[in-house]
Structure 1
Amino acid sequence: MKAVGAIDHPLDRTDLVAHARASIARGSKSFAAASRLFDRTTRERVWLLYSWCRACDDLADAQDFGGRLGEQDDADVRLATIKDRTALAFAGKPTGDPAFDGFGVVARECGLTRAMAADVIAGFALDAADWRPRSERDLMQYCYHVAGSVGVMMAVVMGIDPGDDETLDRACDLGLAFQLANIARDVEEDDAADRCYLPLEWLVEADIPPGEQMKPHYRRQLTAVVARLVDIAHAHECSARVGAGRLKLRQRWAVLSAAGIYGEIATQVERRGAHAWDHRTVISDLHKAGWIARAALRAVRPPPRACREDAELRLWTRRDLASAP
């Protein structure tokens, strides 16, 4: 299988970075805006890591930059392709795909490990198996594998010691918050693709029959279920802000900007209530600029020592979530 953007000859680092920059600009405008705040070296490495994540996601779902799901019959074959290309990247061998070649570069430069990559790939394996969460723990395990583990890798790319568990936990928190915001925003899109990431137990408690969460007469109950998800997202986002204080100034600014932008996605979904899925929730460029400005002020202030938002909610940790269900 030849992926979108595949090449027939190896590219140098400059070309791989250019490919990765184009990937993030197309695939995540919110993260692209925040990434520009990093110093050049960190920014390039973040782009290279993002490009691998984007390529894996598109391969896993037979998509083009997160568009409409493609044919899912050969999911196991596509998952094997992800594993094979990632293994080649770690071995320093050409993969035929600039996203994976770029990942090999950033892995060597920053000391990313096969175990870190395997945690991320485990999330794609869950989707390939048409897996659905039954409990909150299941939901959070999925979020860990598709986003929390990416947060851990991003922290290492920013120069955090792989043995600094406390800071890596906070980076994981930010990934969890991002993914929960995405799930809240994309309930309707996921339903159209015959997927649901809301825990079955939550739906049962809300008297919503499985698979019927988008029916108009269940919209009020669905709004309450998603508000529960948003509360957990905000608690983990707050925890991540505490950890951001351990980063260098520009890195802290970028991370706090991303946290603000994705937090706004979750907030807007909750604020729109029953109309949250009439059209996709998007953060305007003006609002993004506002969050970047706020983050600049927060970045130069002493970081908070604790979060009030997490007082009544359980914060899930990497140790809770690291093994796939």
Structure 2
Amino acid sequence: MRALPPDLSTDHAACRAAIRAGSKSFYAASMLLPPTVRRPAYGLYAFCRLSDDAVDEAGSRSGRACAARRLDERLSLVYAGRPVDAPADRALAEIVSTHAIPEALPRALIEGLAWDAQERRYATLSELSAYGARVAGAVGAMMTLIMGVRDPHALARACDLGVAMQLTNIARDVGEDARAGRLYLPLDWLAEAGIDADAFLARPEATPALRAVIARLLNAAGMLYARAEPGIGALPPACRPAIRAAGLIYAEIGRAVEANALDSVGRRARVGGARKAALLARAALTPGGSDGLAAPPLPETAYLVDAVARSAVAPMQRQKNLPAWWDVPGKVVHVLDLIETLREREGFEGSGAAP
């Protein structure tokens, strides 16, 4: 890969600003990461979010397909060391080079976005998990590499967490997706519940049968959150609170859906700022275990783990020089202060933005 300019501070600042505006909860949780990990995390998430927005906002089905193809071309330029003239692309080029991220991982994300452009439906939970592996599991694997961890078991658990989060998002957004003509719920589950997919899209309603399907999806997500937990203990200690916080907040979204009587059509589940703050504090103070770390990856995410194992790079040194997590109370107070600022300035408590 061709050498990149050494000073990308402006690009990374732009990525940080994009995340602060587009995902308040991730921005707050990211403050629990050590700075050496937080900086590339902003760059990675900025590229992921901008990619998602590029496809989602492209208008027609053909326009979204073209947007996905352009993203594919941009990624090729990133790996050629010739990123397009955009902060997120230049930052990503530096990140994938520095952290030896195999191309298959960000390519998987773009493939998942292309599936969105095609308005693909998923016949089974396995097919839906394959979609989750691409749009979320791959991101979890890339974050793990940024933290300096290439162990296949840790990567498998990171993918579990990503798929769990995606299933939670789908359960929360059933009505919003349906009104946009999108359907992610497994078609076989809908058929078993006596729900005709096209009829539901024509007239979305939170019937008892639909609520049962949503409950089933949240149960599947819950099992994946449990599978993912041992992987957090395989991360550098200074990185664990932020990743645990992300998992806790997303799992809480599922509980908010349940508190809404599983009505994801007429109501949107939200996790209030005070509850997010409590979860952030809990994440910082919770010890992690390793029981279950060696469970095999999901069949749908195994190819991501294999891509890292096959990448022709020398084993990277684990990030051992990250600052120790000694000042837990001080760090939590800092994050809680940040949440209060976001709430006051940008409506953090009532924001409908994704966590």
Same fold per TM (> 0.5)?
A: yes
Q: Paired residue for 1:106?
A: 95
- Asked if structure 1 preserves the Cα contact closer than 8 Å seen for 2:129 and 2:300, the reply is no
Report the TM-score, using the length of structure 2 for normalisation.
0.78
Structure 2: stretches of 5+ with no match in the other structure: 307-355
Which whole-Å CA distance do the structure 2 matches of 1:302 and 1:138 have between them?
A: 31
Structure 1: stretches of 5+ with no match in the other structure: 1-9, 64-69
Aligned-partner residue type, residue 289 of structure 2: P
- Asked if structure 2 preserves the Cα contact closer than 8 Å seen for 1:177 and 1:237, the reply is yes
Which whole-Å CA distance do the structure 2 matches of 1:189 and 1:85 have between them?
A: 30
Which deviations, in whole Å up to 9, do the C-alpha atoms of 1:259-282 show, x marking residues without a partner? 100000011112212444333222
How far apart are 1:103 and its partner, in Å? 0.9
Among candidates 241, 262, 267, match of residue 229 of structure 2: 241
How far apart are 1:171 and its partner, in Å? 0.4
Which whole-Å CA distance do the structure 1 matches of 2:305 and 2:290 have between them?
A: 27
Aligned-partner residue type, residue 89 of structure 1: V
Segments of 4+ in structure 1 off by > 4 A?
A: 214-218, 314-317, 320-323
Q: Alignment partner of 2:70: what SS? A: helix
Aligned-partner residue type, residue 272 of structure 2: S
Aligned pairs (5 A) from 1:151-162 = 151-161=140-150
Distance 1:198 1:145, change over 3 A: same
How far apart are 1:321 and its partner, in Å? 8.5
Number of residue pairs aligned between Structure 1 and Structure 2: 299
Distance 1:304 1:109, change over 3 A: closer
- Asked if structure 1 preserves the Cα contact closer than 8 Å seen for 2:55 and 2:117, the reply is yes
How far apart are 1:110 and its partner, in Å? 0.8
Q: Paired residue for 1:318?
A: 301
Is residue 198 of structure 2 the alignment partner of residue 198 of structure 1? no
Q: Paired residue for 2:31?
A: 36
Aligned pairs (5 A) from 1:250-289 = 250-289=238-277
Which whole-Å CA distance do the structure 2 matches of 1:151 and 1:82 have between them?
A: 20
Which whole-Å CA distance do the structure 2 matches of 1:269 and 1:134 have between them?
A: 23
Distance 1:284 1:218, change over 3 A: closer
- Asked if structure 2 preserves the Cα contact closer than 8 Å seen for 1:213 and 1:219, the reply is no
Which whole-Å CA distance do the structure 1 matches of 2:215 and 2:82 have between them?
A: 46
Superposition RMSD in Å: 2.4
Distance 1:207 1:87, change over 3 A: same
Q: Paired residue for 2:215?
A: 227
Among candidates 58, 63, 80, match of residue 69 of structure 2: 80
- Asked if structure 2 preserves the Cα contact closer than 8 Å seen for 1:155 and 1:168, the reply is yes
Is residue 105 of structure 2 the alignment partner of residue 119 of structure 1? no
How far apart are 1:318 and its partner, in Å? 1.7
Which whole-Å CA distance do the structure 2 matches of 1:183 and 1:217 have between them?
A: 16
Identity of aligned residues (%): 37
- Asked if structure 2 preserves the Cα contact closer than 8 Å seen for 1:48 and 1:103, the reply is yes
Q: Paired residue for 1:7?
A: none
Distance 1:118 1:217, change over 3 A: closer
- Asked if structure 2 preserves the Cα contact closer than 8 Å seen for 1:256 and 1:295, the reply is yes
How far apart are 1:140 and its partner, in Å? 0.6
- Asked if structure 1 preserves the Cα contact closer than 8 Å seen for 2:137 and 2:160, the reply is yes
Distance 1:269 1:213, change over 3 A: farther
- Asked if structure 1 preserves the Cα contact closer than 8 Å seen for 2:99 and 2:148, the reply is yes
Distance 1:225 1:103, change over 3 A: same
Is residue 80 of structure 2 the alignment partner of residue 91 of structure 1? yes
Q: Which moved more, 1:174-183 or 1:87-96?
A: 87-96
Aligned pairs (5 A) from 1:137-148 = 137-148=126-137
- Asked if structure 1 preserves the Cα contact closer than 8 Å seen for 2:206 and 2:264, the reply is no
How far apart are 1:288 and its partner, in Å? 0.9
Is residue 289 of structure 2 the alignment partner of residue 303 of structure 1? yes
Q: Alignment partner of 2:62: what SS? A: coil
Is residue 178 of structure 2 the alignment partner of residue 183 of structure 1? no
Q: Alignment partner of 2:21: what SS? A: helix
Which deviations, in whole Å up to 9, do the C-alpha atoms of 1:233-268 show, x marking residues without a partner? 111111111110011122111111111000000111
